[in-house]
């Protein structure tokens, strides 16, 4: 089928982008692989850093490890680097109560924290999270002459 026969093929698709901050290299690679297989472009980093391009071209979702090496970051520090229009999921290997407190802290500072992942987590939980936050391609109307 050519682009002329399928005009929707020329339309830009919604791009799913994941901002991933994780200090554990094997886990970072695992999450990256799963996200890419689900259609995400992954912006992965092992440390927190300000990225001005996140504000001009924000990701679909941010998945942030609350405690990264060499310095543990607070939820406030983690979330303020992300535009407030981006849903954030915090993850940590700390006790669930610690992670719940980080979620509360992030929200209290105005961040759009939508959830948390307690490490270790499995493929089903990660996959469902990524599916739930995907943008869908634009709908194509059936237009007949």
Instruction: Using the predicted structure, report yes or no on whether residue 77 has a pLDDT greater than 80.
Output: no
pLDDT, one tens digit per residue, over 84-127 is 899 999 998 887 888 888 888 889 888 899 999 999 999 999 99
> Mapping DSSP to helix (H, G, I), strand (E, B) and coil, where does residue 28 land?
helix
Residue 57: pLDDT band (50, 70, 90) is confident
- Please compute, for residue 114, the number of CA atoms within 13 A of its CA located in the half-sphere on the CB side: 14
As a whole number, mean pLDDT of residues 41-64 equals: 83
- 3 or 44, higher pLDDT: 44
As a whole number, mean pLDDT of residues 58-86 equals: 77
69-95 burial code (b ≥16 CB/10 A, e <16):
eeeebebeebbebbbeebbbbbbbebe
Is residue 103 within a helix (H) or strand (E), and if so which, with residue range?
Answer: helix 96-108
Structural domains in the chain, sorted by start: 15-132 (3.40.50.2300)
Instruction: Using the predicted structure, report yes or no on whether residue 144 has a pLDDT greater than 50.
Output: no
């Amino acid at each position: 089928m050519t682009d002329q026969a399928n005009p929707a093929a020329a339309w830009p698709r919604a791009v799913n982008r994941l901002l991933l901050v994780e200090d554990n290299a094997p886990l970072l690679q695992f999450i990256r692989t799963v996200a890419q297989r689900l259609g995400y472009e992954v912006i992965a980093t092992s440390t927190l850093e300000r990225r001005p391009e996140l504000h001009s071209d924000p990701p679909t979702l941010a998945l942030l490890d609350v405690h990264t090496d060499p310095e543990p970051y607070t939820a406030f520090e983690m979330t303020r680097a992300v535009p407030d229009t981006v849903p954030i999921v915090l993850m940590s290997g700390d006790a669930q109560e610690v992670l719940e407190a980080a979620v509360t802290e992030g929200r209290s500072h105005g961040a759009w924290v939508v959830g948390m992942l307690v490490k270790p987590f499995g493929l089903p939980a990660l996959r469902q999270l990524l599916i739930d936050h995907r943008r869908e391609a634009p709908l194509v109307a059936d237009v007949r002459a």
